[in-house]
Structure 1
């Protein structure tokens, strides 16, 4: 025989003075609101993914959007929102410190996470960081230890202080120490200087940095600049593609000393990712890298490759993808140097 809950409540109240819910609670314990609990769990997960997508490390490098999507699809760690957020906070802390300045991995992990083994092979944090670096650098996922080491090295995790170098021209930072002397001698001679990570580490801070420094992606632009300006070359730095540990260290030292860093690179998929990386890690300002600059210069050229968004111009990536054509930095060299010449005369 079927009986409604209302009828059962009426009978139990009449016989016991208790409702059906109260009787069941006495027999089996407190009864939760499962629907409300499911809603709260959904809200907690949504808040977690929203927090991750809006994190400054992620928004500074939009190439990480796909990485965020992959983490969300993988779901919660151990089914726990708090455990997942705790792990992601460590990962984002690591990414916020990369690229490193040629640090050994255990030493870097100890400085950032307080544990020399936190980024050991096989650790969840290390795996998530490597997946993020794959997204940033747009490289295939590493297979095997040598490929994983190569990705770490690209992010400035290495023991070698000599092979990591950065090019500079017309850069004078004052002082009669090693780095200052090398830069002065090369600037006076109208030639480029090559600084190693080891050399830069001998000068913890700069005391006479220029007010403005212009950064280029391609060494050929420095060649054109030196042919034009010679010993009067304005202060220029070249990342030579993705910046090395030496390059990041020099740019950060210049930024800390008060220099305004102006960055320009190729208008293609990788060029935009490099630009976003330099801007995020060094405080550089994108210079003549808007959608309007791109459209003014675009012509027939190679395919742009995979394009990701950039923080400083929401239209630029879409226009590159729609046009499908690269604007190499070298094509704009004369225009860029003309502007630097005008600005340094004032």
Structure 2
């Protein structure tokens, strides 16, 4: 059994505890007030300090005087003696500073992650998490949780997989990782709410609807993409249907089920332009008819069928060019499409917006604005002019661009 230190007297324990606590703050200490000392403790302290009378029950003692007395008594400094009696002395101020630095680094990492920078609407999610706190124990555990959420967000919109299948594929085979009520599921849903500009759902039905909007367990028949002028090669059903409709000057609505099993499909020659609104497709058909260049419509936020087709076209070598509305929602949709498909912006720069805004002098307010990753000045310009410009306003310019690509359309 280890011998006790000579100054480790029961009566002095309140004093040593007070000294240990004050030194552990990491701040300068000049005086220590002891906790209540009993008669034996007061006598022991009087002996230690060489007092001619007993101190009070809760004496305030200059630290320098106490340190000198301890050195005289045992030849070691006060800090060492207290550490022997009660254990290591910590530096809580340094520990707080270290943890603050770790938290700042964590939030900086999250805000700068490629998934967030590609869709700046997610910065609102980052801000919410930082403001409300995310208690997951150590910063490493918190980072692991956030990394898992980012991995899920990077894979959305999903290909219509059921949620357990998606979870198992992305999260180390754990099919329950995104079950309703888990921390990870809540994190991802809060991010999707920020992305889509909706409230965080508070019921199971609303949560299922938000997952569905992100392409989880989409109905293969109801998830469709509207296309005109698409002439892919190959003899598969999707290629043949698309060519027949394009040759007749008709649109075609392709289902997710068809796109998942397209048969022989070799892509479409030349660029493929993408718009947010079906009305632009209608205007293109009116102007070009059966000579319409390839044009795909997202119909607002793209569903799984839209993303599936655009990715397939990109994989086959098509260059995708996207245009949408100049309003807050339109910018978020554009960022989403660009991030998920590799499309390039089409007439979506600040100069394009400033040139178009005078066409709608009394236009509607653009609503909640978030940065455009492809042009950091765009959101500032929209905040300055406070005018939304929908695609129909600049449809003539878009159609003129499409006219340049008719030469390859028979």
Task: Tell whether the 8 Å contact from 1:197 to 1:245 is kept in structure 2 after alignment.
Answer: yes
- How far did 1:344 drift? 5.5
Task: Tell whether the 8 Å contact from 1:205 to 1:257 is kept in structure 2 after alignment.
Answer: no
- Give the equivalent residue in structure 2 for 1:32: 90
1:116-135 map, 5 Å: 116-135=175-194
SS of structure 1 residue aligned to 2:317: coil
Equivalent pairs counted in the alignment come to 346
- Give the equivalent residue in structure 1 for 2:215: 156
Instruction: Give deviations 1:186-225, integer Å, cap 9, x for gaps.
Output: 1111111110000000038853333411000111111111
- Give the equivalent residue in structure 2 for 1:269: 328
- How far did 1:16 drift? 2.3
SS of structure 1 residue aligned to 2:257: helix
- How far did 1:169 drift? 1.2
CA–CA separation in structure 2 for the residues paired with 1:202 and 1:79: 46
- Give the equivalent residue in structure 1 for 2:364: 302
Determine which of 239, 249, 253 is the counterpart of 1:180.
239
- How far did 1:168 drift? 1.1
Structure with more relative contact order (C-alpha pairs < 8 Å, separation 6 or more)? 1
- How far did 1:321 drift? 2.4
Structure 1: runs of 5+ lacking an equivalent: none
- Give the equivalent residue in structure 2 for 1:334: 396
Task: Tell whether the 8 Å contact from 1:190 to 1:231 is kept in structure 2 after alignment.
Answer: yes
SS of structure 2 residue aligned to 1:62: coil
CA–CA separation in structure 2 for the residues paired with 1:303 and 1:117: 42
Determine which of 83, 90, 111 is the counterpart of 2:141.
83
Which TM-score applies when normalising by structure 2? 0.80
Determine which of 99, 112, 115 is the counterpart of 2:157.
99
Q: Which has the larger radius of gyration?
A: 2
SS of structure 1 residue aligned to 2:121: helix
Moved more, 142-151 or 47-56: 142-151
Distance 1:221 1:76, change over 3 A: closer
SS of structure 1 residue aligned to 2:140: helix
CA–CA separation in structure 2 for the residues paired with 1:148 and 1:4: 62
- Give the equivalent residue in structure 2 for 1:22: 80
CA–CA separation in structure 2 for the residues paired with 1:7 and 1:252: 76
Q: Does 1:280 align with 2:339?
A: yes
Distance 1:27 1:204, change over 3 A: farther
SS of structure 1 residue aligned to 2:404: helix
SS of structure 2 residue aligned to 1:223: helix
CA–CA separation in structure 2 for the residues paired with 1:109 and 1:62: 25
SS of structure 1 residue aligned to 2:322: strand
